[in-house]
Every structure is written in C-alpha cells, then in structure tokens.
Structure 1
Amino acid sequence: MFIYFQPTDVKDPAIRPLIEQDSKTLQRLLPEIPQWVKNPDYDRIDWLNKLVENMWPYIDTAICKTARNIAKPIIAEQIPKYKIDSVEFEKLTLGSLPPNFPGMKVYVTDEKELIMEPVLKWAGNPDITIAVKAFGLKATVQVVDLQVFAAPRITLKPLLPVFPCFANIYVSLLEKPHVDFGLKLLGADAMAIPGLYKFVQVLIVFVVLLFDGRVG
C-alpha cells in the first residue's frame, strides 16, 4: 500500500484565453491543439473515439494476438545477433486506455477507392512483460510508459456493390511514427545478459513498425 499526502498550498492553474497568450506560449501549445482545429482538411471524429473506447477490450485482444505473430519471425532473426537463447511474452495487453484520434482527412477518388488519414495519439497503460533466456540466465523485462504517435493512411479498395463494400484494406504510414517507452529490468540476472536492453528496444520498435502492412 502506498500512502501520500497532497500539499495544502496547491493552487488552481491560471486560465487565460488563447488571444492573451504570447507567441512562445502559443508555439508550445500548438502540438496539443487537435488537428481539426489547425487544418480545415481534417474532420472532427468524436464518434470514432467513442466507438474505439467501447470496443477497446476486443481491439486489445486482436492487436496483441497479431503482435505475437509479428514478433515471432523478428525474434527468430534477431536473437542470434544478441546471443540470446529464447524470448517469450509472459504478459501482453495494451491496458485499459484506448488511443485517441484528434482528426481525420478523407479522400474520395475516381479509382474506386476510399482513402482515410487519421491522426493517432496513444499514451496507454500496457502490461507487457518479456522473459529472456541467455548464457544460462533468465531475465524479465517490463515495458512501461509506452507512447505512440502516428499518421496512418488507410485505403479501402476496390470498392464493391456487395458487403462489406470493399475487397481489401491497405494500411501504411505517412511518416515514421513516434514510439517512446521505458524498460524496467526485473530480477537479479537482468543486467548480466549483454545487449538485453538494446534487444528489447529493437523488438518493440520492429513490432510497431510492421503494423504498416496489408489486411485483406
């Protein structure tokens, strides 16, 4: 149990209209302003955020199952470089906090396709624990404070006159996503395995990047 005391001298932050802010403050706040406010080409999509929030437990399970499948060949390719015997996910869940979509741009073309470009921001509370065996030792690594900011492009094509009204879904990334996380080494043997920290970093980044692909 953790017990903490809230300071008695805490004051409410000052609230001022944007028009009263100086240029430096506005530049600092700009990344936090939703895309649909900054760019008229983007639409507000509160409905999508509500949908994802309600479906998140099922989306979490589906994503984690896919992540395990994606990770298998990556692990097989990478472990010889780090002289690691085996790597397994002991726990893998993205937690209870769903991603947020601050806005989305939609294109309708003459090519019988629909193109969507949502902005994705996710700062979740995942529970990801990886067990690594090497040099006769076992170490456990926990991924903490995982954040992903990405700009995917989702293309539905070709469009068809029968449900679900498209044949394939193509997902790509318009730019390199921002992936930030911390690693917590558990167990006395964790620091005894050379390259362990770097290996887990590479594994997590590869799994995120390889979600850039095709579903169909």
Structure 2
Amino acid sequence: MAQLQDLPAWVQFPDTERVEWLNKVIHQLWPYVGEYARTFMTDFVIPQVKAQMPGVFKNFKFTKMDMGDIPCRVGGIKVYTTNVGRDRIIVDMDVAYAGDADFTVSCCGFTGGMNNIQFSGKLRAVLKPLLPYPPMVGGVSASFLEMP
C-alpha cells in the first residue's frame, strides 16, 4: 500500500501544481541541454580546474560527455506568492533524474567516469532581479533545499 510520502507533491499539497507540460518541454530541449553542458564544461569548468590545480591536472579532460536520451522530470511546482520581495520570484520544484547520462574523464593516464546517475530532490529557483524590460529577469540561482 502506498504511503503519503510516496505520493507526488501535487497530490499531497493543494498549492503545488502538476506540470506535465513542462516535462514535455524539457524532453524536447534535452538534446540542446546536452550541447550546452558540453560547451560549458569545455569552455568554463575544465579551464577552472586546470587553473586551480596546475601541474597534475594539466592533462585533465572529459573524454566523453553524454547527457543521454532520458531527461530529468519535474513532479510538481510551487510558486511562492506571499512573504516574497517584489523584486524576485521563488519557485520550488520536485525534480527527479534516472537517466542514461555517461561521463568519462582522464588525467595522468587514469580514466574514470559516471553513468546511470539517479537523484531526486526539491530544487529551489530564485529569479531576481525582476526587470521592466526583456528578458524580464536579471538572473537565476538554483540549489537543492536538502541533499538530493
């Protein structure tokens, strides 16, 4: 028998909305997320690793970066409308990922990687500052409220 904590948040809490439409959008965007992730890792993360840890990590590189075909899913969303500053929007999302991503790194003749990654948790996104012109939001920060 299912327990209350096993039910989706949109069933348990009336202020949490089901967002199946968003999962369809994420599914269509997923290949582009993978492209962006590769570019971000290559252009930003790897140079930072090499700059912060010179010497041994001079040869650090990703030999495979594949986000896979299975996207993350959003189980429910809550948008806070009270006790929130007028310059921001706060959104909590139940996020789950059990995909087929595959990452491999090499450094100093050693190779390691991760695949079949799974996690779930509540992700908070804060959109601020709100702007009176496009794109209407100056920035987005996101973090998990608890360890996923």
TM (normalized to structure 2)? 0.81
Q: Distance in 2 between matches of 1:147 and 1:72?
A: 27
Shift of 1:143: 1.5
Superimposed CA distance per residue, residues 59-98 of structure 1 (whole angstroms, 9 cap, x where no aligned partner)? 1211233244235434654687xx6663210111111110
1:118 aligned to 2:89?
A: no
Q: Distance in 2 between matches of 1:140 and 1:70?
A: 18
**What corresponds to 2:131 in structure 1?**
160
Report if the CA contact (8 A) 2:72-2:95 is conserved.
Answer: yes
| Residue identity matched to 2:15 | D
Superimposed CA distance per residue, residues 119-155 of structure 1 (whole angstroms, 9 cap, x where no aligned partner)? 110011112111121xxxx232231211132322111
The change in CA–CA distance for 1:155 and 1:79 in structure 2 (over 3 A counts) is same
| Residue identity matched to 1:164 | P
2:80 aligned counterpart, secondary structure: strand
**What corresponds to 1:54 in structure 2?**
28
Shift of 1:44: 0.4
Pick aligned residue for 2:76 from 103, 124, 148 = 103
1:65 aligned to 2:36?
A: no
The change in CA–CA distance for 1:55 and 1:175 in structure 2 (over 3 A counts) is same
| Number of matched pairs | 145
1:35 aligned to 2:9?
A: yes
1:144 aligned to 2:115?
A: yes
Structure exhibiting the larger radius of gyration computed from Cα positions:
1
Report if the CA contact (8 A) 2:46-2:61 is conserved.
Answer: no
2:91 aligned counterpart, secondary structure: strand
Superimposed CA distance per residue, residues 159-206 of structure 1 (whole angstroms, 9 cap, x where no aligned partner)? 2232221222222331222xxxxxxxxxxxxxxxxxxxxxxxxxxxxx
1:160 aligned counterpart, secondary structure: coil
1:37 aligned counterpart, secondary structure: helix
The change in CA–CA distance for 1:84 and 1:154 in structure 2 (over 3 A counts) is closer
Q: Distance in 1 between matches of 2:13 and 2:124?
A: 17
The change in CA–CA distance for 1:75 and 1:115 in structure 2 (over 3 A counts) is same
**What corresponds to 1:128 in structure 2?**
103
TM (normalized to structure 1)? 0.58
1:72-111 residue pairs with structure 2 within 5 A?
Answer: 72-74=47-49, 77=52, 86-108=59-81, 109-111=84-86
| Residue identity matched to 2:74 | F
Q: Distance in 2 between matches of 1:95 and 1:75?
A: 26
Superimposed CA distance per residue, residues 101-121 of structure 1 (whole angstroms, 9 cap, x where no aligned partner)? 000110133423211111110
Alignment gaps of 5+ in structure 2: none
Whose relative contact order is higher, 1 or 2, with alpha carbons under 8 Å and at least 6 apart?
2
1:48 aligned counterpart, secondary structure: helix
Indicate the RMSD between aligned Cα atoms, in angstroms.
Answer: 2.4
